Amino acid sequence: MPVHSKLETFEDNWRTSMGGWSPEGKVVLRGKDVFKDLGNNSWMEYLLFASTGKESPKIARLMEGMWVICTSFPDPRIWNNRVSALAGTTRSTGVLAAAASVAVTEATIYGLKPIKGATDFLYRADKRLAEGETLEQIIKAELKQYRSVYGYGRPLVTGDERVEPMMDFARSIGCGEGKYIKLAFAIAEYLSNSRFKYQINIAAVCAGLLADEGLKPMEFYHMATLAFTAGAMPCFIDALDHQEGSFFPLRTSRLNFTGGETVKHWRV
């Protein structure tokens, strides 16, 4: 079969069950009329429905709390915020600053991968417990295979200042007592008493809270994609008021270069 023939059915044609806009003025999302059925939703409720198909003011409110308490600190030293602050001192635009900051949240030790990884681990751990394994066996197997446990341990500091206020908020809206969040803290107790001394971080807390509300790892990932932007934008705006190119400059004398010294000859 010619390669092009595989694509012929898609030429000027895209079939989707997600929704769309019509020239008559109707917008549909997952079978619902946006104006008539979803117009009174909060933005987070709308994002939840768009990303997961779930309708729950409770989950949306829980997620809002996570975005405020856990993800958007206006500190330009934080990895993704450095990008937005740098964009400000290079006189880039807010859109590019935000987009670049979101892009670097796709990291291994912070941001979206730990969010997805912690949720996945809790689901797997719960399944293995139901199959008769002990918590110790599960954690040791995880450490042997991956040399870490998503949601536990934190770079730079030992504890996580976000855990207590997040749990306080969760309990204030009727969350925080489900089996997954209890499992998350049971794992934390084991690890803190092990030779690793790992403590729980906010990824495991949020993973446990949302797993108890039925969110799967990829659903949590999709919901969290824009979560860091409320920290990135203040850093960009602040950097606009600083001297151009002044964000954390590093003089060349501080560089310790140990490579070979070669002369590059450029052709003209």
Average pLDDT by consecutive 10-residue portion of the chain (268 residues)? Answer: 75 91 94 96 97 97 97 93 96 96 90 93 97 96 93 84 97 97 97 91 97 97 95 96 92 83 73
* CA atoms within 13 A of residue 185's CA, in its CB half-sphere: 10
**Would you state the pLDDT for residue 132?**
97
The structural domains of the chain, ordered by start, are 112-224 (1.10.230.10)
Q: What is the pTM of this model?
A: 0.88
Model pLDDT, residue 230:
95
